[in-house]
Amino acid sequence: MHQQSIDRREYNITAYTENQVGLLNRIAIIFSRRKINIESLNTSPSEVEGIHRFNIVVVETEDVVRKIARQIEKQVEVLKVYFNTNEDVIWQEMALYKVPTDVIAERVIVERLLREHGARVVVIRKDYTVFETTGHREETDKLLTVLQPYGLIEFVRSARIAIIKDSQGFHHKLREFERTEPSPEVSENDYLNSRDKVFTM
């Protein structure tokens, strides 16, 4: 038990799925029934038409993550699941900061801080300005702490997105996947085979 907790670390689980109603629930309960907390979850369309991509971050042991990845891949609508440690992926989160506009206008130091942290202006209004930064958690956190004394109004951060370092992209993987595990066009229903024109509606 103790050994296990030492081995727990952040894993990035990437799942390529069909775009189906209800699939998020099917995937989420794989975690919840094992009492595993999802640290971050992002889902969006992938570069392949009709295929969605889940990015899920959990803190777990490799053994548990491997089993979960298999359970996710077992779902009918899931094409492929990968899991990687942080070393194996390039990952980013995006943060938005809402700050009173007058503070920025009057305090040069704030402007410098924003520049130092590579923040970009998204919206400027009379009452507030919204900045954006992208980076690892510590980076977006750092700007958060330095802005707090200057009347930060609101802060929001996105889920993590990650891309596998040595991957040649999912297209390649999909092709590879089709090659190593081709889906033969077998009909498993002999009855239907023998009654081709069975019937018509």
CB closer to another protein out of 22 and 149 = 22
Q: Using the rule CB under 8 A, which residue among 12, 71, 84, 133 binds another protein?
A: 71
Part in contact with another protein (CB under 8 A); list of ranges 35-43, 76-84, 99-107, 124-132: 76-84
Part in contact with another protein (CB under 8 A); list of ranges 12-20, 53-61, 119-127, 157-165: 12-20
Query: Six-digit token pair at 96?
Result: 């938005």
189 counts as binding another protein under rule CB under 8 A: yes
State how far the alpha carbon of 102 is from the alpha carbons of 70, 132, 133, in Å. Answer: 53, 18, 20
CB closer to another protein out of 37 and 200 = 200
Query: Six-digit token pair at 187?
Result: 């009909």
21 counts as binding another protein under rule CB under 8 A: yes
Backbone angles phi, psi at 80, to 5 degrees: -160, 145
* DSSP states of 61-118: -HHHHHHHHHHHHHSTTEEEEEEEEGGGEEEEEEEEEEEEHHHHHH-HHHHHHHHHTT
Q: At its nearest, how many Å lie between another protein and the CB of residue 37?
A: 18
Which of these, 167, 168, 115, lies nearest to 143 by C-alpha position?
115
1 counts as binding another protein under rule CB under 8 A: no
Query: Six-digit token pair at 5?
Result: 């907790």
Q: Using the rule CB under 8 A, which residue among 17, 40, 55, 133 binds another protein?
A: 17
* DSSP states of 36-56: ---SEEEEEE-SSTTEEEEEE
Place of tokens 């969605």: 52
Part in contact with another protein (CB under 8 A); list of ranges 67-75, 87-95, 113-121, 134-142: 67-75
For residue 72, give the 3-state DSSP assignment: helix
CB closer to another protein out of 127 and 181 = 181
Residues that bind another protein (CB under 8 A): 17-18, 20-22, 25-26, 29, 33, 66-67, 70-71, 73-74, 76-79, 180-189, 191-192, 195, 197-201
